[in-house]
Amino acid sequence: MNRYYNPVRAYQGYGCLAELPRLAQEAAAPGKRTLLLVWDESVLAKQGIRELLEKDKTLLVRRFGASNPELGQLYHMYQETRALEVGLVIAVGGGSVLDVGKSLCCLYGSAISSEEELRQLIAEKRYGAPACRWIGVPTTAGTGSEVTCWATIWDSCNDVKFSVDTSENYAFAALADPQLADTMPLGLAVSSALDAVAHATESYWAKATNTVSRALALKAIRTVMGHIDLLLKDPASREAHDQMAKGSMLAGLAFSNTRTTGCHSISYPLTMRRHIPHGVAVSLLLGPVLALNYPAVQDGQALLEAFGVQRPADVQRRVADILLAAGHPVTLRAWGVAEEDIPLLAAHGITKGRADNNPVELTEMVVQDILHAIL
Ligand SMILES: [Fe+2]
């Protein structure tokens, strides 16, 4: 069906963080408190956030400093904050902080007394409508989480990844101000940017794609790929960081309606079991998955043009060159994966809701071939 929906008030560009106090006031629930969830306290000194703290003396500040948020960590934050009557969550950080912030909005309406109860509630999607609003302020340009309505929560003890999602949980507003991301180490800036490229590319060919998503996806890929060499050449370039933030938000808006496909599906065990950073894992898979999908992609030529390449095979080379220039190894072997690990990684790489959204069927044998292509 050709339908697009995204209600987030989306702000992007240097200085847009100044809008935060006004938006927070508009979104706040009367008589309730605002929770400011941050990756690290250094952001509290930034203009916009500083004013917010000066204006609202009841504001609660909590730190969440873990990547790939675990169910137990989410439960801990829920327990620590539920009784405080939170009416608005402002999440300032990378994907993990935003995912925890938006999950809390879905959980505050339920009384949960143990981690096991939380596991059941999330697995069975019994959290109902969000109990409060949230505002997303990304400090990395890549996840697009500020404009999507789902959160990824990991349960690595049980080798499971949960999605907390409901179309009622879009952010009240998203502010992607590159001043928060422009001091990121180059390796992280590049892997985050390539994660955004994967979101856009997968959105373009997803079974659930639509006209608006496809237009946003092409623009996102063009924006990131057209400026990533500037980022590599001058990691402090404001222009490059502005374009990465723009591309990331456009990619987020694209895949907010389509979700991801093969690259993300196959990447999860590489991150969970082999600790390959998410952006590196998905971008390594872009080339081989594109080569597989290309015959099934509508207007594949436009996709190649957005990447700035001639043939599908050129994408793998172009992505590898970028990753290498940012200091990332580009083979699975270099990340500690051995030939004999492939069958198990392939078996775990067929993720429900992602693999079945790929335009070409992903069997274990097909996934093994894809993993061999980057071994
Ligand atoms: Fe991603």
Angle of helix 211-233 relative to helix 300-307, nearest 10 degrees? 20
> Which position has the higher pLDDT, 67 or 137?
137
Is 75 strand, coil or helix? helix
Domain boundaries, the chain: 9-179, 186-373
Per-residue pLDDT, averaged over 75-89, amounts to 96
Q: How many angstroms does the Cα of residue 258 sit away from the middle of ligand 1?
A: 13
- Judged against a pLDDT cut of 70, whether residue 123 lies above it is answered with yes
Is 162 strand, coil or helix? strand
Q: How many angstroms does the Cα of residue 63 sit away from the middle of ligand 1?
A: 23
Q: How many angstroms does the Cα of residue 215 sit away from the middle of ligand 1?
A: 19
Locus of tokens 């992007």: 12
CA dihedral 60, 103, 359, 346 (to 10 degrees): 100
Q: How many angstroms does the Cα of residue 193 sit away from the middle of ligand 1?
A: 10
Give residue 161's pLDDT band: very low, low, confident or very high (50, 70, 90).
Answer: confident
Q: How many angstroms does the Cα of residue 196 sit away from the middle of ligand 1?
A: 7
Q: How many angstroms does the Cα of residue 84 sit away from the middle of ligand 1?
A: 32
Q: How many angstroms does the Cα of residue 192 sit away from the middle of ligand 1?
A: 8
The predicted structure's pLDDT at residue 68: 87
- Judged against a pLDDT cut of 80, whether residue 220 lies above it is answered with yes
* Fold held by 9-179: Rossmann fold (3.40.50)
- Judged against a pLDDT cut of 70, whether residue 30 lies above it is answered with yes
Q: Which of 82, 103, 78, 81 is nearest to 91 (CA)?
A: 103
- Judged against a pLDDT cut of 70, whether residue 96 lies above it is answered with yes
Quote the DSSP letter at residue 164: E
Q: How many angstroms does the Cα of residue 313 sit away from the middle of ligand 1?
A: 22
Q: How many angstroms does the Cα of residue 148 sit away from the middle of ligand 1?
A: 12
Per-residue pLDDT, averaged over 235-264, amounts to 97
Q: How many angstroms does the Cα of residue 32 sit away from the middle of ligand 1?
A: 33
- Judged against a pLDDT cut of 90, whether residue 348 lies above it is answered with yes
The predicted structure's pLDDT at residue 141: 84
- Judged against a pLDDT cut of 90, whether residue 179 lies above it is answered with yes
- Compute the half-sphere exposure of residue 368: CA atoms within 13 Å on the CB side of its CA: 10
Q: How many angstroms does the Cα of residue 89 sit away from the middle of ligand 1?
A: 23
Q: How many angstroms does the Cα of residue 25 sit away from the middle of ligand 1?
A: 31
Give residue 1's pLDDT band: very low, low, confident or very high (50, 70, 90).
Answer: low
Q: How many angstroms does the Cα of residue 208 sit away from the middle of ligand 1?
A: 17
Q: Which of 135, 117, 139 is nearest to 126 (CA)?
A: 117
The predicted structure's pLDDT at residue 2: 85
Q: How many angstroms does the Cα of residue 8 sit away from the middle of ligand 1?
A: 19
Q: How many angstroms does the Cα of residue 43 sit away from the middle of ligand 1?
A: 24
Q: How many angstroms does the Cα of residue 115 sit away from the middle of ligand 1?
A: 26
Q: How many angstroms does the Cα of residue 199 sit away from the middle of ligand 1?
A: 6
Q: How many angstroms does the Cα of residue 282 sit away from the middle of ligand 1?
A: 7
In percent, the amount of the chain with pLDDT more than 70 equals 100
Specify which residues 348 forms β-bridges with: none
Check whether domain 186-373 has CATH 1.20.1090.10, yes or no: yes
Q: How many angstroms does the Cα of residue 278 sit away from the middle of ligand 1?
A: 7
Q: How many angstroms does the Cα of residue 279 sit away from the middle of ligand 1?
A: 6
Angle at 90 between CA 160 and CA 163, to 5 degrees: 15
The predicted structure's pLDDT at residue 108: 96
Quote the DSSP letter at residue 68: S
The per-residue pLDDT of the chain, averaged, comes to 95
In this structure, what token pair is assigned to residue 233?
């050449």
Q: Classify strands 86-93 and 133-138 as parallel, antiparallel or unpaired.
A: parallel
Q: How many angstroms does the Cα of residue 161 sit away from the middle of ligand 1?
A: 13
Q: How many angstroms does the Cα of residue 58 sit away from the middle of ligand 1?
A: 35
Q: How many angstroms does the Cα of residue 340 sit away from the middle of ligand 1?
A: 26
pLDDT digit string, tens, across residues 301-321: 999 999 999 999 999 999 999
pLDDT digit string, tens, across residues 38-54: 999 999 999 999 999 99
Q: Give the H/E segment covering residue 77.
A: helix 71-81
Q: How many angstroms does the Cα of residue 118 sit away from the middle of ligand 1?
A: 24
Q: How many angstroms does the Cα of residue 21 sit away from the middle of ligand 1?
A: 29
Cα 166 to chain centroid, rounded? 16
pTM of the predicted structure, to 2 decimals? 0.94
- Judged against a pLDDT cut of 70, whether residue 37 lies above it is answered with yes
